[in-house]
Amino acid sequence: MARSDYFEELNRLKKDTLRMGELAKQAAENAVRALVKRNAELASEVIRGNIVIDELEFDLENRCMKLLALQHPLASDLRAIGTILKIITDFDRISDLAGDIANIVLKIADEPFVKPLVDIPRMSETAQGMIEDGLNAFSTGNIKNLMNFSERDDLVDALCDQVRRELITIMIENPRTIRNASHLLFVALHLERIADHACNIASRIYYMVTGERRKFE
């Protein structure tokens, strides 16, 4: 592979990684929107979309390995490829968690919620903002909006704890709510994990840009 072809392929890798990230972010956003709107059709679309994201991960991983094997990239290029190899796994996990939420929607879409959905949408909004800022940092190299990720993750954790406490109280007071409340609790836990993956992505991008390690958690 000529060096010009190498740089073109590296740029394509970055663009396709961004596309995978956007798809994962959209999946997570749509899964919660489907929950709020009780939209089983949208939930089914999220589940079907996982196939595309899985295929993208496999394709990107193979292309990264090919560049590493044939071109022996150095310095910033090596960090970029290494970052791609890591964050596509996080994007795939975000997509999987979105699929898990979508499956919950299919189970409870016809049931009244045991509590108003206030904190779960807030968790989702915060996590989506984190993913978006991570994608922007990957695209531009500007890491300014990554610096408060730990605080934003703490907010998601606090909201999850609040949802957990409220739902456990509801289940204790009325055992007939256990099924519905348990599903909503899993939604909150999945969103907490999505925010954790966003932090992993931010940590990898920070290293890609600066060459220094920093853990966001």
What crossing angle do the helices spanning 178-210 and 3-37 adopt, rounded to 10°? 160
- For the entire predicted model, the pTM comes to 0.96
d(CA 88, CA 95): 10
* Residue whose C-alpha is closest to residue 97's, from 188, 203, 36: 188
The whole-number pLDDT of residue 1 equals 61
The whole-number pLDDT of residue 78 equals 94
Q: What CATH fold (topology level) applies to the domain 3-210?
A: Methane Monooxygenase Hydroxylase; Chain G, domain 1 (1.20.58)
The whole-number pLDDT of residue 54 equals 96
The whole-number pLDDT of residue 2 equals 66
Backbone dihedral region for residue 75 (phi beyond 0: left; psi -120 to 50: alpha; all else: beta): left
The whole-number pLDDT of residue 4 equals 74
Token output for 54: 């899985």
Contact 207, 79 (CB under 8 A): yes
The whole-number pLDDT of residue 6 equals 85
The whole-number pLDDT of residue 73 equals 85
Contact 70, 9 (CB under 8 A): no
pLDDT beneath 50: ranges in the chain: none
What is the sign, positive or negative, of the torsion defined by CA atoms of 55, 59, 64, 66?
A: positive
* Residue whose C-alpha is closest to residue 131's, from 79, 95, 85, 185: 95
The whole-number pLDDT of residue 71 equals 81
Token output for 29: 């956003």
